[in-house]
């Protein structure tokens, strides 16, 4: 690289991280790492969105979080969206190139559209979770997990959740639902209705 390429516009020496091609040829440190389904709660998501503050950059950040959460998109799918892919009148979002190159149309609720309406064409990435102090890890893909679990809580059939998320197999969708809180499972079974036994039926042989 030329000497001029090592200097910024003020003539100062650039940081290595700001030098073009600094990490060329190196794989990301988390490449290939698989994390278990660990969806954030509604309260945690709200805290992170509130932490964004005010102004256009904050609106873009909240819009991105909203579309990941309320439409269940992958981060790459959300960042690739254009204005023409968004149809608030019908409540639909067009994912032109999903995983495996597949195209699909998904839905999003009115609350999500309210935030996306303030979202401009620029995308901003911020690490808000650390400032909000709500959890160790707040990754964009976890918002897909939260979306899937909320749909399951609402009684939406698994095949529809699969289609919404663009999964090729139900088994993948089932993995997302493993993030349901264990306490919720225990509480649900604990309050399960007792078996209905005929008055004439005896429990002893």
Q: Are 146 and 108 in contact (CB under 8 A)?
A: no
Q: Which two tokens stand for residue 26?
A: 């190196």
Query: What is the total count of domains within the chain?
Result: 1
102, 169 contact by CB (below 8 A): no
Close Cβ partners of 166 (under 8 Å, ≥ 6 residues apart): 74, 95, 98, 99, 102, 104, 106
Establish if 4 belongs to a structural domain: no
Among residues 132, 126, 138, 142, the alpha carbon closest in space to that of 61 is found at: 126
- Taking all residues of the chain, what is their mean pLDDT, rounded to a whole number? 79
CATH of the domain at 160: 1.10.443.10
Domain of residue 174 covers: 42-180
pLDDT at 112: 93
| Measured distance CA(156)–CA(80) in Å, rounded | 27
Q: What is the pLDDT of residues 119-142, one digit of tens each?
A: 754 443 465 666 677 766 677 888
Instruction: Determine if the pTM surpasses 0.85.
Output: no
Tokens of residue 202, six digits: 């005896």
- For residue 192, what pLDDT is reported? 64
Dihedral sign of CA atoms 148, 150, 153, 157 in order: negative
């Amino acid at each position: 690289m030329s000497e001029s390429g090592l200097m910024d516009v003020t003539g100062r020496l650039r940081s290595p991280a700001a030098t073009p091609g600094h990490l060329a040829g190196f794989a990301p440190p988390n490449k290939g790492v698989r994390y278990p389904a660990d969806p954030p709660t509604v309260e945690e998501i709200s805290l992170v969105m509130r932490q964004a503050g005010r102004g256009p950059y904050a609106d873009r950040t909240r819009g991105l979080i909203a579309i990941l959460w309320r439409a269940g998109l992958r981060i790459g799918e959300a960042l690739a969206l254009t204005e023409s892919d968004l149809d608030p009148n019908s409540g639909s979002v067009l994912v032109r190139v999903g995983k495996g190159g597949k195209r699909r149309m998904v839905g999003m609720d009115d609350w999500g559209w309210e935030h996306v309406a303030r979202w401009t064409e620029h995308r901003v990435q911020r690490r808000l979770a650390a400032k909000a102090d709500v959890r160790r890890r707040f990754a964009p893909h976890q918002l897909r997990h939260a979306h899937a679990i909320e749909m399951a809580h609402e009684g939406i059939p698994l095949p529809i959740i699969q289609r919404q998320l663009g999964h090729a197999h139900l088994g993948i969708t089932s993995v997302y639902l493993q993030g349901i809180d264990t306490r919720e499972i225990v509480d649900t079974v604990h309050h399960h209705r007792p078996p209905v036994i005929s008055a004439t039926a005896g429990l002893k042989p």
